[in-house]
């Protein structure tokens, strides 16, 4: 869906520049954030192109099998275990991973009305961003390792088998949890130790030979749960009840968007000021997003403001910004 705003005169502008907001929307099942940002970049290239409307229409009208551009389901492009023993080992590994996901440290959820999605953002200055990246590097982590201590996604694009379709519109994600003790760090050394622990857990997940098989099993499990199908009971030998596994918050770590929105591709008259990413949430949902753009570190928080105690998320947001400035700047 493309929504285009109409410029409204608000007074004299000595620069001759006009502000526009461009809203791009897509259902998550056809692509991920990488797909949507790349598509937005290409749309901006078309809109600012020096080609005439006639030239663009001719280019669009060229013979093309559009159906061949549609990618197959990502599950069909992932190669899971073939042998019976390999499938059994993968299933055992998946169940073991589920048993290690210990959580339960969550916000107090209180659905006070129909879901109402709120979005707030904060950009650190270029100077602050340089300090943040330098501190992360000196402590042998990246900025996303500092915040990746909760529920987040893994990009599976490098594990997909090649296809003839040229499109980048496909979904290639699976999910995992970072599990860390829930206590306030007594010193910066403890904070950075936990960041390195998050990095180590991430590395074990992304380099595991079972990553693909876990992704396939996770896809089946999440699909079954979303359709409301009855879930298999726990094994009879499980004497103790399972540990709490609810995650504190979801994370979306998109990375450096300056590599996607290549400024040299646009005319000098176009200046991109900011990029915001959000996602549809279920009632009581919350998602923290992080990326760099314009050489700045950006944080976005998207949540159902009717799913939590009044003011609770706003207080968390203010303390989060203070924590970044205290430990990273």
Set out the domains of the chain in order of their start, with CATH numbers.
Answer: 21-51+105-228+243-327 (3.30.559.30)
Taking residues 258-275, report their average pLDDT: 92
The pLDDT of residue 173 is 85
* Whether pTM exceeds 0.75: yes
Backbone angles phi and psi of 110, in degrees to 5? -145, 100
Of the chain, the percentage scoring pLDDT greater than 70 comes to: 91
User: What is residue 118's predicted lDDT score, i.e. its pLDDT?
Assistant: 92
- Residue 181 to residue 149: CA distance in whole angstroms: 10
What does the alpha-carbon distance between residue 138 and residue 147 come to, in Å, rounded to a whole number?
16
pLDDT, position 318: 95
Give residue-wise pLDDT tens across range 152-173.
888 888 888 887 767 888 888 8
Reported as a single tens digit per residue, the pLDDT across 80-124 is: 899 999 999 999 999 888 878 777 777 888 888 999 999 999 999
Residue 184: pLDDT band by 50, 70, 90 thresholds?
confident
Residue 3 and residue 23 in contact, taking contact as beta carbons nearer than 8 Å: yes
Report whether pLDDT(127) > 80.
yes
Query: Residues near 93 by Cβ (< 8 Å), separated by ≥ 6?
Result: 210, 213, 214
Q: What is the pLDDT of residue 7?
A: 61
Q: Over 60: is that where the pLDDT of 9 sits?
A: no
Cα angle 300-302-306, degrees, rounded to a multiple of 5: 150
- Long-range own/partner contacts, residues 216-219 (CB < 8 A, 24 or more apart): 216/75, 216/78, 216/80, 217/90, 217/91, 217/94, 218/94, 218/174, 218/175, 219/75, 219/174
Long-range contacts, stretch 38-45, CB < 8 angstroms, 24+ apart? 38/168, 38/260, 39/168, 39/169, 40/261, 41/260, 41/261, 41/262, 41/265, 43/2, 44/261, 44/265, 44/266, 44/270, 44/272, 45/265, 45/266
Q: Collect all residues with Cβ–Cβ distance below 8 Å to 256 and sequence separation of at least 6.
A: 291, 292, 293
Q: How many other CB atoms sit within 10 Å of the CB of residue 123?
A: 16
Is a pLDDT exceeding 70 seen at residue 320? yes
Of 253, 284, 283, residue with least CA distance to 150: 253
């Amino acid at each position: 869906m493309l929504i285009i705003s109409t410029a409204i005169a608000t007074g004299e502008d000595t620069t001759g520049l006009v502000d526009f907001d461009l809203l791009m929307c897509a259902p998550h099942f056809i692509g991920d954030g990488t797909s949507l940002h790349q598509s937005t970049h290409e749309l901006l290239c078309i809109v600012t192109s020096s080609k005439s409307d006639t030239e663009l229409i001719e280019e669009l009208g060229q013979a093309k099998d559009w159906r061949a551009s549609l990618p197959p389901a990502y599950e069909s492009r992932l190669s899971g275990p073939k042998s019976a023993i390999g499938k059994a080992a993968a299933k055992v590994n998946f169940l073991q991973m589920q048993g290690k996901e210990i959580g339960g440290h969550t916000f107090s959820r209180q659905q006070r009305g129909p879901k109402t999605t709120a979005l707030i953002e904060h950009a650190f200055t270029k100077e602050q961003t340089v300090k943040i990246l330098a501190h992360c590097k000196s402590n042998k982590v990246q900025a996303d390792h500092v915040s990746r201590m909760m529920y987040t996604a893994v990009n599976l694009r490098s594990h997909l088998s090649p296809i003839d379709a040229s499109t980048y519109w496909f979904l290639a994600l699976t999910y995992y949890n970072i599990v860390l003790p829930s206590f306030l760090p007594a010193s910066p050394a403890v904070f950075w130790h936990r960041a390195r622990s998050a990095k180590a857990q991430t590395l074990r997940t992304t380099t595991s030979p079972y990553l693909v098989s876990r992704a396939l099993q996770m896809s089946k499990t999440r699909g079954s749960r979303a359709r409301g199908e009855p879930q298999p009971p726990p094994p009879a030998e499980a004497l103790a009840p399972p540990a709490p596994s609810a995650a504190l918050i979801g994370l979306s770590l998109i990375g450096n968007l300056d590599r996607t929105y290549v400024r040299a591709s646009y005319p000098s008259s176009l200046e991109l000021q900011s990029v915001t990413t959000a996602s549809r949430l279920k009632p009581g949902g919350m998602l923290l997003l992080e990326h760099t753009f314009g050489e700045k570190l950006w944080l976005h928080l998207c949540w159902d403001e009717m799913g939590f105690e009044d003011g609770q998320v706003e207080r968390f947001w203010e303390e989060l910004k203070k924590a970044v400035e205290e430990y990273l700047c």
